[in-house]
Amino acid sequence: MAHVSVPSVPYTPQFYYVFQEPPSLDTARRTHEMTSAVHSWFDAGIPFFTMQAIRDVCQQLDRFNKNGRKILVKGLDGTMVEYKIMTGRKIRCFEPNREWIVGKPLLYYVPIQTLTSVELDNKPGVACCNLVVRYEIEVRDKYTKEIINDCQHLSFEEVQRFFVTMREIWEASQPCKQLRSMLASKRTQLKVTKIVSFACASVSHDHRSREARRAAFQHALILTLRDIFDKGRGKYNKIRCYAQDPIYTSVDKLVLQHFGIDVLDNPRGLLEVDDFSVVISCAADFCVKQIVSDLAKPAMMIWDRVHEDAEADETICGLPW
C-alpha cells in the first residue's frame, strides 16, 4: 500500500449531537469482562467493522427514521442493542429565542480505544456495541420556527472561483509534482477504480481562513489522483470520485459535483471502499483507518501528517498548509 502524507484540516462541525445510550450494564465486573473480551477479539484479528453490519444499520435508518421507531444494532458479542428514534423531539436549549430540535439519526463509530477504556463514564452503556445512533440537532427560531444557521457561506460562483484558484496553486506546488512523479511508475501496478475521501471539510466557508485553503487543497488532491489514474482508461471506464463529510453545505455539494466529485451521506462513503480504492482521510473526527482496515485492503491510503501541538503553526513543504 502506497503512503503519501498531506496536510490536515481541523474538523469544525456545524451541528450538535445528542447521544442516546443503549441499555447500561450496571456492574464494574461486567465492564471489565467486556473490556477483556474486546482485547481478546482484537488480538485474534477479528474485524470489528463489517460491510454487512454497517449496511444493515444504514438500511434501517433509511426505513425507520421517524420518531418512535426502533433501530436494532448487533454488538460485537452478539447482543442486540435497541435505539429508539428521537427525531422531531425538542431538547433543552440555553439560547434565548431559540429552540433545539432533534434532527435525523446518524451512525457513529466507536473506536477500539473507547471500547477498551474503563475510565469513560459512558463505558457501561457502550458495552460491546461499536455502531451507535446519534443525532443531528437543528437550531430554529422559537417563534417563527425557521431553521437558524449562524455559519456564513459564499455563493456557488465565489466558491467555484476560489476552488479553481486553489487547485492551480496546488498543481504548481512541489508536493503535487512529487506525488505525480512517484505515482507515474506505479500507476499501472495499482488497480484503482475509485477515489473515496472522508472529512475533507467545507470549501464554502470564509476563504480568508487557513482551514478553507486546506480543504480546497485536499479536494484538489482528489482531482489530481483522478487525473493520474485516468490516464490510459477508456471513455466509459473513468475513475469515480466520492466524498463523505457531514459538514458539506448545499453549495459544497454543487461545486464538488461540478468537478465530478459525488458527495455521499454517512455511511455510504464507507460502503464504497474496496480493494480497488484510493482512500483519503485527513484529520477525520472518526476512526476511518480502523474501519477501512476491517472493510478492505485499499490500493492506497492518504492521511495527514501527525504533529505535536507546538508544531501546529509550522508550514509544511514551505507552503502555508
Instruction: Give the CATH number for residue 6.
Output: 3.40.50
Band the pLDDT of 24: cuts 50, 70, 90. very low
Band of pLDDT at residue 151, cut at 50, 70 and 90: confident
User: Residue 29 belongs to what domain range?
Assistant: 16-141
Least confident of 35-49, 107-121, 166-180: 107-121
- Residues 215, 230 within the same domain: yes
Asked if 106 and 42 sit in the same domain, the reply is yes
On whether both 127 and 176 belong to a single domain, the answer is no
- Evaluate whether residue 319 is within a structural domain: no
Shared domain for 187 and 307, answered yes or no, is: yes
User: Considering 119, 141, 163, which residue would you say is the last residue of a domain?
Assistant: 141
Does 176 share its domain with 249?
Answer: yes
Residue that is last in its domain, among 79, 106, 141: 141
Residues 290 and 113: their CA atoms lie apart, in Å, by 11
Residues 182 and 67 in one domain: no
**Considering only CA atoms, which of 13, 24, 18, 141 is closest in space to residue 86?**
18
- Asked if pLDDT for residue 110 goes beyond 70, the answer is yes
Determine the Cα–Cα distance for residues 249 and 62; give it in Å rounded to an integer.
21
Identify whether residues 92 and 183 lie together within a single domain: no
**pLDDT above 70: residue 1:** no
pLDDT, one tens digit per residue, over 191-245 is 999 999 999 999 998 888 888 999 999 999 999 999 999 987 777 789 999 999 9
- Per the structure, the count of domains in the chain is 2
Residues 268 and 289 in one domain: yes
Q: What residues contact 300, with CB distance under 8 A and at least 6 apart?
A: 1, 2, 4, 190, 192, 278, 279
Based on the fold, state whether residues 6 and 122 are members of the same structural domain. no
Beta carbons of 70 and 312 less than 8 angstroms apart = no
Output the pLDDT for position 283: 85
In this structure, is residue 146 part of a structural domain?
no
Give a yes or no: residue 31 inside a domain.
yes
58 and 162 fall within a common domain: no
Tell me: do 188 and 131 sit in the same domain: no
Choosing from 91, 113, 141, the residue where a domain stops is 141
Residue 147 lies in a domain: no
With respect to residue 110, please indicate whether it lies within any of the assigned structural domains: yes
